[in-house]
């Protein structure tokens, strides 16, 4: 993956910068990222794999019109997510029908919710 000097903290990543090719987590593990929404889905997978995020913690809602993570691919109004990623075997669905700003905001908020500092995640 990337060399250590090339890592940019998520909190410093700005619109217009190239999409990251990988994400580095708090424990030093890394995940390849091919699309912007994978930053959020990789984070949900990591939190689930470390038993921080569990099905009983959902829905996670950052706006009144949409859930970010839920146990079914539907929002608060009952409308299905337009685009989502199912987390394998977890019973969790991540809403990825978001623009870049929303993806970064949701990722930052999710990190903070689980006690992780966005400035230390790359």
Average pLDDT, the chain: 86
The pLDDT value recorded for residue 113 is: 93
Q: What is the mean pLDDT of residues 43-65?
A: 91
Assess contact for 39 and 103: CB atoms under 8 A: yes
Assess contact for 48 and 60: CB atoms under 8 A: no
List, for residues 91-106, the tens digit of each pLDDT value. 999 999 988 888 888 9
Domain ranges for the chain, please list them: 20-120
Cα separation of 33 and 22, whole Å? Answer: 5
Contacts of residue 20, defined as CB under 8 A and 6 or more positions apart, other chains included, come to 8, 13, 33, 39, 122
- Weakest mean pLDDT among 9-18, 21-30, 81-90, 98-107: 9-18
Cα separation of 2 and 12, whole Å? Answer: 17
Query: Is residue 122 very low, low, confident or very high in pLDDT (cuts 50, 70, 90)?
Result: low
């Amino acid at each position: 993956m990337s060399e250590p000097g090339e890592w940019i903290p998520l909190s410093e990543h700005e619109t217009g910068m190239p999409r990251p090719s990988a994400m580095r987590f708090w424990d030093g593990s890394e995940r390849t990222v091919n699309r912007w929404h994978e930053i959020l889905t990789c984070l949900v997978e990591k939190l689930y794999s470390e038993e921080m995020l569990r099905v009983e913690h959902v829905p996670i809602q950052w706006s009144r019109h949409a859930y970010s993570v839920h146990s079914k691919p539907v929002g608060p109004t009952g409308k299905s997510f337009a685009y989502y990623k199912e987390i394998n075997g977890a019973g969790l669905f991540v809403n990825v029908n978001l623009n870049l700003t929303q993806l970064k905001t949701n990722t930052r908020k999710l990190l903070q919710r689980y006690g992780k500092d966005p400035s230390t995640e790359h």
